[in-house]
């Protein structure tokens, strides 16, 4: 049987490789060649304004990338994703996160909505604090939702604890009163070492705080309800979700419970509705008017054809400060692969490293490298047109000015002649003060940060990640790369495997020696 052609084996891929051999286009030349470039490369959808015009894609690049999308069968793959077909072959699963926000399936959320109303209505006793325990996809999404929207809520205060480091749980305990705290244990598999350890320590804390039946104060969110029940959670407090929803795609399920508890059901429903609108756009818009598809094309061009090893994301809004961390998991766990969906090695660089931070802070820390370093990797800026505060308008005016100025400066740079003038003719100083420019960026401007807008933004990133995976021939829904580390950690912790490499053995011995020494010799801080 002949194996199906992978995208990189098609003529469309070869045509893109040929384009990549030519000198990189100058952004100013691209703007000059296309007077309507901004309009052509800007998409407005669901209150989000996507400006891709500063990315180094000329009309011929875009046409060649559309040909790649056709050769890779993107239109068909996205329909298969939406239809619940098997798009995750290594786990023999569909990927059904889009169904969770489809209005036709809102009944799937009935149990969650009922529990939210019980907690918020006080039926389950006084609940002033929630400790949400989960890790990876079971924490990053809910944490982002809370950080972005939680200030608008009137429900219980939520602490999210992920790390096995007891300091994380200790910090949450310090902010909560056991008498009015509910635990929400979130784990798709209900086997994760960190989550189960933290849950048991939190139960012990409740008990020590006078709670007679601590298990009655636990809500579990999981795709493995039998395991949760076996652990001790009451069946009426278990909210299930499907195995076909991946951890990093799960915030639309009961994994998003903290937002609903804090801000009410209406906010969670609006989040889903915004995401659904973006899904419809992704499924229906033609490639060059389709925000996730255009973004994915640019990502694949940068990473696979021009060897850009990173993509930076800077949110010029405190409410979105956790977006880079969320995207790191979404993009790197999904597309950080080196084989095709059918296990064949891929002979090109795949997903870039996602990194980033918050503007304007990051300007004073890492932007030096972006403007003058030897890397010239793509940068994405996000801003919200309407501020979250009532402070003088100058704050927001300067915030947006800084955001837009960075993209402009990355593109424009500073010529040697301009640098010489700025350096009073001193050539050494002029060298230090010149900027190469011609560095690409994209900007996403959001009209206001409401739950529906945030839903649309996160659905955009999910769709973009999927589209990039299709263009590369990757399965974005498995994560076998984390399994070896997990298994090894279990072996180290339980000492079932005592034959490690010499460095690991020495580290274990050194940690034990240091801990023993510190127990005997208290640190003198006087």
Active site residues: 333, 364, 486
Query: Quick one: 19 or 94, whose CB is closer to ligand F6P?
Result: 94
User: Does 181 help bind ligand F6P (rule: CB under 6 A)?
Assistant: no
Which tokens hold the place of 457? 């933004």
Binding residues for ligand F6P, total number by CB under 6 A: 14
Would you say 314 and 362 are in contact if contact means Cβ atoms under 8 Å apart? Answer: yes
* Chain residues 420-439 in contact with ligand F6P, contact rule CB under 6 A: none
Residues 8-27 as x/- pattern, contact with ligand F6P by CB under 6 A: --------------------
Between CA 403 and CA 411, with CA 407 as vertex, the angle to 5 degrees is: 160
**Residue least distant from ligand F6P (Cβ):** 247
User: Does 137 help bind ligand F6P (rule: CB under 6 A)?
Assistant: yes
Query: Which has the closest alpha carbon to 113: 239, 242, 277?
Result: 239
Residues 6+ apart with CB under 8 A from 9: none
Q: For ligand F6P, which residue of 45, 53, 192, 354 counts as binding (CB under 6 A)?
A: 192
Q: Which stretch binds ligand F6P (CB under 6 A): 100-108, 136-144, 230-238, 400-408?
A: 136-144
Query: Quick one: 239 or 403, whose CB is closer to ligand F6P?
Result: 239
Distance of closest approach, residue 483 Cβ to ligand F6P, in angstroms: 8
Q: For ligand F6P, which residue of 61, 109, 248, 262 counts as binding (CB under 6 A)?
A: 248
Distance CA 325, CA 357 (A): 9
Which tokens hold the place of 178? 């056991």
User: Does 396 help bind ligand F6P (rule: CB under 6 A)?
Assistant: no
User: Does 198 help bind ligand F6P (rule: CB under 6 A)?
Assistant: no
Would you say 40 and 57 are in contact if contact means Cβ atoms under 8 Å apart? Answer: no
Distance of closest approach, residue 146 Cβ to ligand F6P, in angstroms: 17
Distance CA 378, CA 413 (A): 15
Q: For ligand F6P, which residue of 189, 488, 505, 518 counts as binding (CB under 6 A)?
A: 189
Q: Reduce the DSSP state of residue 238 to 3 states and report it.
A: strand
Residues 6+ apart with CB under 8 A from 48: 291, 444, 445, 446, 447, 453, 456, 457, 460
Distance of closest approach, residue 326 Cβ to ligand F6P, in angstroms: 11
Q: Which stretch binds ligand F6P (CB under 6 A): 89-97, 134-142, 460-468, 511-519?
A: 134-142
Would you say 249 and 118 are in contact if contact means Cβ atoms under 8 Å apart? Answer: no
Distance CA 89, CA 23 (A): 39
Q: Which stretch binds ligand F6P (CB under 6 A): 6-14, 133-141, 228-236, 300-308?
A: 133-141
- Extract the runs of DSSP E, i.e. beta strands, from 455-511: none
Q: What is the DSSP string of 167-195?
A: HHHHHHHHT--GGGEEEEEE-SSS--HHH
DSSP code, position 76? H
Q: For ligand F6P, which residue of 45, 53, 195, 441 counts as binding (CB under 6 A)?
A: 195
Distance of closest approach, residue 221 Cβ to ligand F6P, in angstroms: 9
Query: Quick one: 96 or 187, whose CB is closer to ligand F6P?
Result: 187
* Chain residues 328-347 in contact with ligand F6P, contact rule CB under 6 A: 333
Q: Reduce the DSSP state of residue 43 to 3 states and report it.
A: strand
Q: For ligand F6P, which residue of 187, 328, 465, 475 counts as binding (CB under 6 A)?
A: 187
240 φ/ψ angles, rounded to the nearest 5 degrees: -95, 160
Q: Which stretch binds ligand F6P (CB under 6 A): 83-91, 120-128, 188-196, 260-268?
A: 188-196
Residue 219, H or E segment: strand 218-222
Pairing of strands 441-446, 379-384: parallel
Distance of closest approach, residue 52 Cβ to ligand F6P, in angstroms: 29
Distance of closest approach, residue 482 Cβ to ligand F6P, in angstroms: 4
Residues in contact with ligand F6P by the rule CB under 6 A: 135-138, 187-189, 192, 195, 247-248, 333, 479, 482
């Amino acid at each position: 049987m002949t194996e199906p052609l992978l995208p990189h084996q098609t003529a469309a891929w070869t045509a893109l490789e040929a384009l990549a051999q030519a000198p990189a286009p100058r952004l100013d030349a691209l703007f000059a060649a296309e007077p309507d470039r901004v309009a052509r490369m800007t998409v407005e959808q669901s209150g989000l304004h996507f400006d891709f015009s500063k990315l180094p894609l000329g009309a011929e690049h875009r046409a060649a990338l559309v040909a790649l999308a056709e050769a890779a069968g993107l239109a068909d793959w996205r329909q298969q994703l939406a239809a619940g077909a098997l798009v995750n072959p290594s786990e023999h699963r569909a990927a059904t996160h889009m169904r969770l926000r489809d209005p036709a399936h809102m009944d799937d959320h009935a149990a969650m909505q009922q529990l939210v109303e019980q907690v918020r209505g006080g039926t389950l006793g006084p609940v002033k604090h929630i400790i949400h325990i989960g890790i990876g996809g079971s924490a990053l999404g809910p944490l982002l939702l809370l950080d972005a929207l939680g200030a608008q809520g009137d429900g219980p205060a939520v602490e999210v604890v992920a790390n096995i480091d007891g300091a994380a749980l200790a910090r949450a305990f310090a902010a909560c009163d056991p008498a009015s705290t509910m635990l929400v244990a979130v784990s798709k598999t209900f086997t994760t070492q960190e989550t189960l350890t933290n849950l048991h320590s939190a139960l012990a804390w409740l008990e020590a705080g006078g709670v007679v039946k601590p298990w009655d104060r636990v809500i579990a969110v999981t795709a493995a309800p039998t395991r949760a029940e076996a652990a001790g959670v009451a069946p009426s407090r278990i909210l299930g979700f499907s195995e076909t929803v991946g951890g990093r795609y799960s915030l639309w399920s009961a994994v998003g419970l903290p937002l609903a508890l804090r801000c009410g059901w209406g906010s969670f429903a609006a989040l889903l509705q915004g995401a659904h609108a973006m899904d419809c756009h992704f499924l229906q818009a033609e490639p060059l008017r389709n925000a996730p598809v255009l973004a994915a094309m640019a990502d694949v061009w940068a990473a696979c054809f021009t060897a850009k090893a990173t993509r930076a994301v800077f949110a010029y809004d405190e409410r979105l400060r956790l977006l880079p961390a969320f995207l790191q998991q979404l993009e790197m766990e999904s597309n950080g692969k080196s084989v095709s969906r059918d296990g064949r090695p891929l002979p090109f660089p795949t997903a870039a490293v996602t990194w980033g931070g918050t503007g304007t802070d990051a300007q004073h820390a890492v932007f030096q490298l972006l403007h003058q370093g030897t890397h010239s990797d793509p940068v994405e800026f996000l801003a919200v047109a309407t501020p979250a505060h009532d402070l003088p308008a100058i704050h927001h005016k300067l915030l947006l000015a800084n955001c837009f100025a960075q993209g402009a400066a990355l593109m424009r740079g500073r010529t040697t002649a301009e640098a010489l003038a700025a350096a009073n003719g001193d050539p050494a100083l002029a060298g230090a003060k010149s900027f190469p420019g011609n560095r690409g960026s994209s900007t996403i401007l959001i009209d206001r940060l409401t739950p529906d807008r945030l839903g649309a933004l996160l659905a955009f990133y999910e769709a973009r990640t999927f589209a990039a995976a299709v263009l590369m021939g990757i399965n974005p829904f498995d994560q076998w790369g984390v399994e070896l580390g997990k298994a090894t950690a279990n072996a180290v912790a339980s000492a079932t495997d005592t034959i490690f490499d010499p460095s690991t053995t020495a580290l274990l011995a050194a940690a034990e020696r240091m801990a023993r020494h510190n127990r005997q010799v208290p640190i003198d801080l006087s």
